[in-house]
Structure 1
C-alpha cells in the first residue's frame, strides 16, 4: 500500500515491523519456513517478520510522506535514539578490569606466581602432588599405601587390601576435584560481567 521502512509493503506488514522494532518483541522460533502470503500472513509472525527483514525493511530507512507532523517527529526521534544506541559502546576500563580479575584470582586460587616459582625451582620441601598420567597415578597409590602402613601394626597391615587403597585414592582425587571446581567457580563469579551472562553460557565457559 506504500513505501514503508525502505520497501514497498502493505499496512499490515508495516505495523508488524514497527511494533516488533519499537517493543523489541521476540517471537517463538519457527523451523517450518512458512510461505507468507496475503491469505495466511497472520498465522506465523516469526516467519512474517523474517520476510520483512529479507525483503529489506529497515528501521533506518524511514521515508516521510503524507503522515501527521507529530508522527513524523516521533519516528525521527526514535530513529535518532536508535542510531545513537548502535554507535555508542561503553568504554572498557581495562586497568580496572585487570585489577578486579587479579584481586579475584588472589582471593579464590591458592596458587599464585610466587608460590609457583618456589615449587618450580625446588625450593620447598613439600611440593604439591599432581596426578597427570598413569605413572603419577601409580606413584600416588604407592605413596598412599606407605602412609597407611606407617600408622598400622604388622597385623593391621596384613589385612589391608588393594581395593581399600584404590578407594581412598579415589576419594582423595574426588576431594581435590571438588576444591578445584569450587575455586574456579568462585573466581568466575567475581569476574566482571560473568554473572550477567545466560546460565548456559556460564556453564559452557566453566567447562572449557
Structure 2
C-alpha cells in the first residue's frame, strides 16, 4: 500500500468481486481495482496527524484529471474480471428504448394528422362557444366545465355535419335537423355498399377501414 507500506495477498484467484457492498472483502483486489480505475500512487494524500492542519489540496490534482472514457474502460475491465471473463449476455435493446406509441408505423402519419386536425377543430369549437350570447355570460369556471363535458359530442356533430352529402348545390349549410337525422340513421357508420368516408375537415377525409386498422375508429 501507499500510506503504511503494507503488502496484501488475495486468498482466492485474484478476481474477487469488489463493489459497494463487498469492497472490504479483499484488500488486494480492491487495491488492484483502484489502480485499474486510474488511481496514482503519488496522488494519495499522507495520513492526517492529530492537531496538525492538513495542507490544502490542489483543485487541479491529477486525481480529477481522469476522463470519462478511462473510467468506463476501467469499469468494464473490472466487470469482466468479476465474471471470470464470461460474456454477461446480449444487451436487450427494447429495455433501453421502447416505442412511444402502440400504433403501427404505417399508420402513425395518418393518426398524427387526425390528432392535429382534431385539435384545430376543438379550438374552433371553443371559439364558437365563446361567441354565443348566453354562453359568454356564464362564469369562466362554468364555461370550462361545460366545454369539458361536451367537447366530444360537439366534435362528433361537427364530423357528422361535414360528412353529409348535399343533393342541393344551392344549399351552403345543412339544417340542424339533417345533422341529427344523419347521426341517428348512420351513427357515423355508413350503410354497406356506399363510400365509407368521414370528412374530418374541409381538406381531409378518412376511410372507415383505415380508421379501424389504426385503432381510432369504431
Which has more radius of gyration? 2
Q: Same fold (TM over 0.5)?
A: no
TM-score band, normalised by the shorter chain? under 0.3
Query: What's the TM-score once normalised by structure 2's chain length?
Result: 0.21
